[in-house]
Structures are given as structure tokens and as C-alpha cells.
């Protein structure tokens, strides 16, 4: 008993204590120290002040990317090549790994210095970008409007409505259920009379076209039988038969992308599809680590764990400059677009966009897109009448997207908004275009340095009291953005030290909090002048 007491006392007294037998690392917060990291979808809980129940990076992801990285504003950070469990309680960050004792590293005394050292050591950028169009033009996704009824007539109607309503052309994504079945890469003939002609028409309108895909394969299909014979499917634990995995669209077999031959075969199928139909790229979905619990499956790579499947799925996107992911493991700094996970149509979800985008940047994902404007969870849009839409929510959500690295529409603004509010949303889309060159400039900087495009205020202005500010951010080094994230037409903004020019042309001296009136047609942002 005395020995246990001694150990506990030492853990309290020590800044960092490691229980070697269990590979548990306890990090005691230093004075005025804050921590970020691990899970993009927990951005709204960062910095971690309130308790966070144990989270398993191996099997959980909360619908988004996970990274084995934690950073503090005092220059401390931790990294592991393997997943671990973490929790926050009693002003401690507790890391539990079954693979190693996780060591604390130190670089400088700021959030930025910790991040840059971690990036340079563990996820160095490779000087390559996703396709530039993804940054400088809006994206449009057919999900909310069509859901599982993807079809040629309505997709072309959607594309034409984008143009006729005065929105900029950009990237159009055809979402789930365009294909004959999962694992097949042909458009459904009963829904698409001339898929290649449809895509050619959208190209002539100025759009690039992406289509939704997953690694799953419908059981008892032609592709299933062929892939089983080749040994390209994940197997059930201890058996020589394909595993049938439950996911949100039912139960399916799944490509085993730890097999290099299976990965190469999958990539070939996609490139063959590009040649056949003319699609420009792919929305890669359903790579969530929770589908690949090694306790229930056998992989080609006998050492593979759950996150290795997630990573292998992400690596396919490196072959396609037009790509998008929602789940990921490591691969920060690589030319992969990371979208926030589907969020409901609600103000709470709107308030999560900025902190989640900030957390994505701090975890190495600079090429990011907020969820779909207004929310990507289709169930929250069902049975809502046109006159019951909260138009203010849609407008404010659009304005947040407008000054992000990417913006993506899905619910059709022209269907649900008044003429006046539609004009505000169109103006926001054009503002994104206006900032396109600036955003692209910082995307290129990120490809060289690894730095986020969307930056926490503490990242850029350390020791000025910004640690817990989560509703404003820096877009690169030059612009501070402070959108409205509530139904109110006003907000408080904390200005860093220095001189700032707001979106109305007014010069403000920083180092103070200002109260700002924000009518529905305004997006407050500030240009740094010195």
C-alpha cells in the first residue's frame, strides 16, 4: 500500500510520469498550459480543459480523422506511430498505449513551435497539392438534394441551376448510389441513360466531376466472386472466407488494401472508369477505422491493425488530384482533401465548424473543407417545409465556408432561400473566388512548410490570451476572420496587438475586445497592417 501511495505521489509531483508496466503516460498540465490534438471531431472541446472520457484512436474517430499527435501552447508535444487511448481529467492528459511508452518532446515555447517540429519530424509536406480548382472555386455535392436517388436528369438539373442562379462553376460531386452496386464502377443504366454524355455536358458547363466511392463490395455479386478468387478481400478472423462487415449501408465485403496487388487492382478500376466515363476524381468514403477491428478480421498484412486499413484507403487518393476524404490516419502534409464529417442542420453544428477546422490544421491537415453548407446529415433535412428553414443559419454557414480553404454546397440555396438571402449567399461564393489566389498561395506555402491554412489565434499570436478563443481564426498570416455563429446579428471580437483594417475599411488598433454589429450580409474579417 505504501509503495502505491509513493507512486501516486510521484505522479502528482512530476510534470510527466510514465507507468512503464502499462505504457501509460500521464502529462500534468503546467501553469497556463493548454493541449490540443488526437481527434479532428473533438475540435469544439479543444483546448482540453473539461474532462474527456477515454477515446480509442484505434477504433474510434467520431466520423473524422484521427492522428496520434497532441500539442501544447508551451512547446510540448507527443507523437506515436501507433494508435493509443487518451483521456483528460484532473488537469491531466492520460495516454495509454499497448505498443510503447509515449515520450514527451519539446520544441520552443509556443503552439506553433511544437507543431512545426512535429510536422517536420513526423508528417513532412511533399510540395504537392490537390488540384488547385478545389481551393479557388466552390464545390457542389448532390447528396442533400438527391440522397440515394442519384440520377442523370436531376444531376443535370442541379448543375444547370447552379449556373442559372449565378453561382460560380466549380467541382460537382455525384454522391452515393450512382453505381450498379458496391464494388462495381459502372453507372446504373436505369438511372443514367448516357453517363459519359452527362459528364461531357457538365464539363462543357465548366464543371469538374467527382463521384463517390467506398472500399466495400456487395456480397454475391460478380465483383465479389472475382475478388474472392483473387484473395483481394478482407477475411473473417481465423477463416479463409471474406469477412462481411456492417457499415451504414448494410453488410458488405471489403477490399483488403494492405495487399499491394489488391490496392493496385483497385486503382486500375478507378483509372479505367476515368477513361470510360471521363470523371475527374473521387470522393473516397467509408475508410473509418472502426470497420477494421483486427480482433475480428484477418488481413493480407499479418501485422496490420485497424488504422493501417484507413491509411491504405487514404493512400489511393494520392493517385488522383481531385480527391476528398472524411476519415483518415496520419498522412498529414500529403495532397489529400479532408472534409469535416457530416453534421446536422443546427446552430450547434455551425458553432463546431471553426474549432473543428482549426483542429484539422493542428493535426497536419491543411487542405480542408468544412462539412456541406447547412449540414451534411440528410436526416435533419427530411420533412422540413420551405417556410420552416432557418434561412439565417444557411446564410451564416455559407459565410463561414466562404473564408475557408474550400467551400461546399449541397442543399440548394435557390430552393430554400428568399431572393434577398440568396443574393447574400451568391456574394459569399464570389467572395471565396475573390480570395482564391490568396488561399491558393497559402496552400502552396503549406505544401512546403506544413503550416495550417486555418490557424488558431494562439498559433499566430502566442501569449496574448487567445488560448480559448474558438470562434475566430487566422486565414494564413494576413487575415483574421470572425464570422457570426449564432442567430444574433452582433458579436464580440478580440483583436491581437497591432493595426488592423476591417472588411468595411475601418482601421482598428488591436490589443482589445470590440463589439461589432453584423447584419446578415456581413462577414467580419480584418487585414493585418503591421
Residue 490 and residue 488: Cα distance in Å, rounded?
Answer: 6
Amino acid 389: pLDDT? 85
- The mean predicted confidence, pLDDT, of the chain is 95
What's the domain range around 107?
2-122
- Domain identity same for 200 and 76: no
- Domain identity same for 273 and 138: yes
Supply the CATH number for residue 195's domain.
3.20.20.80
The pLDDT tens digits for 70-93 are 999 999 999 999 999 999 999 999
Residue 164 lies in a domain: yes
Residue 219 lies in a domain: no
Assign residue 19 a region: left if phi > 0, alpha if psi is -120 to 50, beta otherwise? beta
The pLDDT tens digits for 233-269 are 999 999 999 999 999 999 999 999 999 999 999 999 9
Q: Which of 409, 439, 469 is the last residue of a domain?
A: 439
Q: Please compute the mean of the pLDDT values over residues 268-280 and round it to a whole number.
A: 98
Residue 370 lies in a domain: yes
Name the helix (H) or strand (E) containing 204: helix 195-204
Place of cell 466520423: 63
- Domain identity same for 434 and 484: no
Who's near 46: CB < 8 A, 6+ residues apart? 35, 36, 37, 355, 358, 359, 470
Does the pTM exceed 0.85? Answer: yes
Q: DSSP characters for 477-521?
A: TTEEE----SSSSEEEEEEPSSEEEETTS-EEE-SEEEEEE--TT
The pLDDT tens digits for 3-39 are 333 333 333 334 443 444 479 999 999 999 999 999 9
Amino acid 381: pLDDT? 87
Helix residue ranges per DSSP H, 68-147: 111-122, 133-136, 143-146
Contact criterion met (CB below 8 Å) for 370 and 340: yes
- Domain identity same for 193 and 280: yes
Q: Please compute the mean of the pLDDT values over residues 214-240 and round it to a whole number.
A: 97
Between 18 and 57, residue with greater pLDDT: 57
Q: For residue 273, what is its C-alpha cell?
A: 472508369
The pLDDT tens digits for 471-509 are 999 999 999 999 999 999 999 999 999 999 999 999 999
Assign residue 484 a region: left if phi > 0, alpha if psi is -120 to 50, beta otherwise? beta
Residue 375 lies in a domain: yes
Amino acid 20: pLDDT? 42
Between 387 and 197, residue with greater pLDDT: 197
Q: Please compute the mean of the pLDDT values over residues 150-160 and round it to a whole number.
A: 98
Q: Which of 149, 159, 151 lies closest to 412, judged by CA?
A: 159
Q: For residue 512, what is its C-alpha cell?
A: 482589445
Residue 444 lies in a domain: no
Supply the CATH number for residue 473's domain.
2.60.40.1180
Q: Which of 379, 407, 439 is the last residue of a domain?
A: 439
Between 300 and 384, residue with greater pLDDT: 300
- Domain identity same for 404 and 472: no
Residue 466 lies in a domain: yes
- Domain identity same for 185 and 64: no
- Domain identity same for 108 and 12: yes
Residue 378 lies in a domain: yes
Amino acid 380: pLDDT? 87
- Domain identity same for 393 and 478: no
Residue 30 DSSP symbol: P
For residue 201, pLDDT beyond 90: yes
Amino acid 382: pLDDT? 86
Supply the CATH number for residue 87's domain.
2.60.40
pLDDT band at 363 (very low <50, low <70, confident <90, very high): very high
- Domain identity same for 118 and 137: no
Residue 160 lies in a domain: yes
Amino acid 16: pLDDT? 41
Name the helix (H) or strand (E) containing 490: strand 490-495
For residue 119, pLDDT beyond 50: yes
Question: With pLDDT > 70 as the criterion, what percentage of the chain qualifies?
Answer: 96
- Domain identity same for 93 and 137: no
Q: Which of 98, 122, 146 is the last residue of a domain?
A: 122
- Domain identity same for 332 and 194: yes
Amino acid 15: pLDDT? 41
- Domain identity same for 423 and 517: no
For residue 522, pLDDT beyond 70: yes
Tell me how many domains the chain contains. 3
For residue 281, pLDDT beyond 70: yes
Amino acid at each position: 500500500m505504501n509503495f502505491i501511495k509513493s507512486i501516486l505521489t510521484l505522479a502528482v509531483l512530476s510534470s510527466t510520469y510514465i507507468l512503464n508496466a502499462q505504457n501509460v503516460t500521464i502529462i500534468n498540465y503546467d501553469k497556463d498550459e493548454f493541449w490540443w490534438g488526437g481527434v479532428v471531431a473533438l475540435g469544439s472541446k479543444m483546448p482540453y480543459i473539461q474532462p474527456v472520457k477515454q477515446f480509442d484512436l484505434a477504433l474510434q474517430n467520431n466520423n473524422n480523422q484521427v492522428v496520434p499527435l497532441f500539442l501544447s501552447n508551451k512547446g510540448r508535444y507527443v507523437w506515436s506511430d501507433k494508435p493509443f487511448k487518451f483521456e483528460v481529467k484532473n488537469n491531466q492528459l492520460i495516454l495509454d498505449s499497448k505498443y510503447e511508452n509515449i515520450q514527451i518532446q519539446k520544441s520552443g515555447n509556443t503552439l506553433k513551435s511544437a507543431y512545426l517540429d512535429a510536422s517536420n519530424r513526423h508528417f513532412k509536406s511533399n510540395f504537392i497539392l490537390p488540384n488547385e480548382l478545389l481551393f479557388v472555386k466552390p464545390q457542389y455535392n448532390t447528396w442533400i438534394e438527391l440522397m440515394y436517388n442519384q440520377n442523370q436528369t436531376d444531376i443535370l438539373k442541379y448543375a444547370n441551376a447552379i449556373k442559372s442562379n449565378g453561382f460560380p462553376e466549380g467541382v460537382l460531386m455525384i454522391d452515393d448510389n450512382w453505381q450498379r452496386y458496391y464494388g462495381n464502377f459502372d453507372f446504373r443504366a436505369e438511372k443514367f441513360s448516357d453517363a459519359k454524355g452527362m459528364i461531357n455536358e457538365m464539363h462543357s458547363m465548366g464543371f469538374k466531376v467527382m463521384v463517390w466511392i467506398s472500399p466495400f463490395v456487395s456480397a454475391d455479386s460478380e465483383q465479389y466472386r472475382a475478388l474472392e478468387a483473387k484473395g483481394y478481400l478482407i477475411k473473417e478472423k481465423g477463416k479463409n472466407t471474406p469477412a462481411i462487415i456492417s457499415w451504414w449501408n448494410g453488410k458488405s465485403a471489403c477490399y483488403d488494401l494492405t495487399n499491394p496487388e489488391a490496392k493496385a487492382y483497385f486503382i486500375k478500376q478507378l483509372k479505367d472508369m476515368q477513361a470510360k466515363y471521363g470523371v475527374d476524381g473521387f470522393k473516397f468514403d467509408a475508410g473509418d477505422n472502426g470497420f477494421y477491428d483486427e480482433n475480428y478480421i484477418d488481413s493480407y498484412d499479418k501485422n496490420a491493425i485497424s488504422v493501417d486499413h484507413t491509411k491504405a484507403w487514404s493512400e489511393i487518393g494520392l493517385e488522383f488530384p481531385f480527391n476528398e476524404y472524411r476519415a483518415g490516419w496520419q498522412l498529414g502534409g500529403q495532397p489529400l482533401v479532408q472534409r469535416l464529417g457530416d453534421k446536422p442542420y443546427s446552430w450547434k453544428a455551425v458553432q463546431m465548424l471553426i474549432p473543428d477546422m482549426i483542429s484539422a490544421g493542428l493535426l497536419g491537415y491543411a487542405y480542408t473543407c468544412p462539412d456541406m453548407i447547412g449540414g451534411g446529415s440528410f436526416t435533419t433535412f427530411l420533412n422540413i417545409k420551405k417556410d420552416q428553414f432557418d434561412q439565417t443559419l444557411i446564410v451564416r454557414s455559407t459565410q463561414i465556408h466562404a473564408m475557408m480553404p474550400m467551400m461546399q454546397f449541397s442543399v440548394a440555396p435557390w430552393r430554400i432561400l428568399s431572393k434577398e438571402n440568396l443574393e447574400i449567399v451568391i456574394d459569399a461564393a464570389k467572395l471565396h473566388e475573390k480570395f482564391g489566389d490568396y488561399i491558393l498561395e497559402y496552400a502552396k506555402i503549406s505544401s512546403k512548410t506544413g503550416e495550417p491554412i486555418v490557424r488558431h489565434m494562439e498559433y499566430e499570436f502566442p501569449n496574448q490570451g487567445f488560448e480559448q478563443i474558438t470562434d475566430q481564426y487566422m486565414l494564413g498570416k494576413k487575415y483574421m476572420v470572425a464570422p457570426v455563429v449564432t442567430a444574433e446579428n452582433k458579436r464580440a471580437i478580440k483583436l491581437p496587438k497591432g493595426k488592423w483594417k476591417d472588411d468595411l475599411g475601418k482601421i482598428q488598433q488591436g490589443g482589445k475586445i470590440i463589439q461589432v454589429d453584423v447584419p446578415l450580409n456581413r462577414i467580419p474579417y480584418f487585414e493585418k497592417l503591421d
